[in-house]
Amino acid sequence: MELWFTEEHTPNVRFSLKVQAHLYSGESEFQKIDVIDTLEFGKTLLLDGLIMCSEKEEHTYHEMMVHVPMTVFPDAKRVLVIGGGDGGTVRELTRYKTIEKIDMVEIDELVVEVSRQYLPTMSCELDDPRVTLYFQDGIEFVKGKEEAYDLILVDSTDPIGPGEGLFTKAFYTDCYKALTKQGILINQNESPFYEVYRQNMMKAAEKTREIFELSKVYTFYIGIYPSSLWSFGFSSKGLDPVLDMKPDRFHELGLDMHYYNTDLHAGAFMLPTYVKKLLEE
Ligand code: SAM
């Protein structure tokens, strides 16, 4: 009997994956957690029935979250990751030997435990000596931090449940205060394509623009997400993601990538016309 997993992207659009095994199913106080092994995307993490990341495509997401800001601010030394329970964002950060401190604040310890057991290619660097794991709400953690971090990467779920507060003006303001003068915030910024995700994207972009001296949206394609067109926000106190990028610093590291490159970095900020109109750029 064939086994399929289906995610509802909108009331009118469903996305199905053929599954060869349902490896884990459990529930924490925050959410339902599943790991399915799919024929096309490999092992895939689900939270409350929504696809988070898959072995086949997670590099796209984690590389675009980490190497864009690191190529703009290669001397970043202290990084805060909020969310990121699968470990992929931390893994990409640990590839920079110049980074001295990585704090990861994940509200749900069970996500980390499950990722350690079933997603070792993502969670493999969580024990790097520079990494400190905090199992608490990132919203509370960042409150009152003054110029403590060079990068803050909000690797969150959608703005529902525990993730809802990570899309508020108050949270972004606390992130602003917690960043150094050259600091950069990257936030998971949903998608311009389907209505619900589009509203989330526009609201998040509007809020970061009100708080940061510079705030831009960049996009990339990730097939397993609703519409495949996804976005992150890049917000800073002045550094421009394209004008201030330092490709030579990135290239001299000789890091082997799957998705990111410095040409694509610049291109990611060149948005489709309908997205520019949505963001009034
Ligand atoms: N990195 C994945 C990807 O490639 O798409 C997806 C994101 S990661 C699994 C999202 C994490 O954010 C989850 O582990 C969730 O528990 C965590 N999270 C949600 N709300 C949070 C909060 N308020 N504070 C800290 N972590 C939170």
ipTM: 0.97
Please give the domain boundaries of the chain with CATH numbers for all domains.
Answer: 3-52 (2.30.140.10), 58-280 (3.40.50.150)
Contact 163, 83 (CB under 8 A): yes
* DSSP codes, 171-223: HHHHHHHHEEEEEEEEEE---SSSHHHHHHHHHHHHHHHHHSSEEEEEEEE-T
Q: Which residues contact 104 (CB under 8 A, 6 or more apart)?
A: 80, 81, 84, 89, 90, 126, 131, 132, 133, 134
Alpha-carbon distance 185 to 81, whole Å?
A: 10
127 catalytic residue (yes or no): no
Q: Is the CB of 92 under 6 A from ligand 1?
A: no
Alpha-carbon distance 272 to 225, whole Å?
A: 18
Residue type, 264: L
Alpha-carbon distance 58 to 35, whole Å?
A: 14
Q: Which residues contact 270 (CB under 8 A, 6 or more apart)?
A: none
Query: Per-residue pLDDT tens for 203-249?
Result: 999 999 999 999 999 999 999 999 999 999 999 999 999 999 999 99
Alpha-carbon distance 112 to 102, whole Å?
A: 16
Cα-to-centroid distance, 2 and ligand 1 (Å): 30
For 86-153, give the secondary structure using H, E and C: CCHHHHHHCCCCCCCEEEEECCCHHHHHHHHHHCHHHHCCCCCCCEEEECCCHHHHHCCCCCCEEEEE
Least confident of 96-105, 136-145, 258-267, 272-281: 272-281
Say if residue 138 carries a ligand binding annotation: yes
DSSP helix/strand/coil, 275: helix
Residue 280, pLDDT above cutoff 90 = no
Say if residue 263 carries a ligand binding annotation: no
pLDDT at 167: 95
Q: Tell me what the pLDDT averaged over the chain comes to.
A: 97
pLDDT more than 90, % of the chain: 98
Alpha-carbon distance 54 to 57, whole Å?
A: 6
* Residue minimizing CA distance to atom 5 of ligand 1: 52
Say if residue 155 carries a ligand binding annotation: yes
Q: Is the CB of 279 under 6 A from ligand 1?
A: no
**pTM given for the model:** 0.97
Cα-to-centroid distance, 83 and ligand 1 (Å): 4
- In sign, the C-alpha dihedral spanning 201, 189, 107, 36 is positive
- 52-83 burial code (b ≥16 CB/10 A, e <16): bbbbbbbbbbbbbbbbbbbbbbbebebbbbbb
Backbone angles phi, psi at 86, to 5 degrees: -75, -20
The alpha carbon of 20 is separated from its chain's Cα centroid by a whole number of angstroms, namely 27
Contact 108, 39 (CB under 8 A): no
Per annotation, catalytic residue among 108, 150, 155, 174: 155
- Strands across the sheet with 3-10, in order? 3-10, 13-27, 32-38, 42-47, 50-54
Query: Per-residue pLDDT tens for 41-83?
Result: 999 999 999 999 999 999 999 999 999 999 999 999 999 999 9
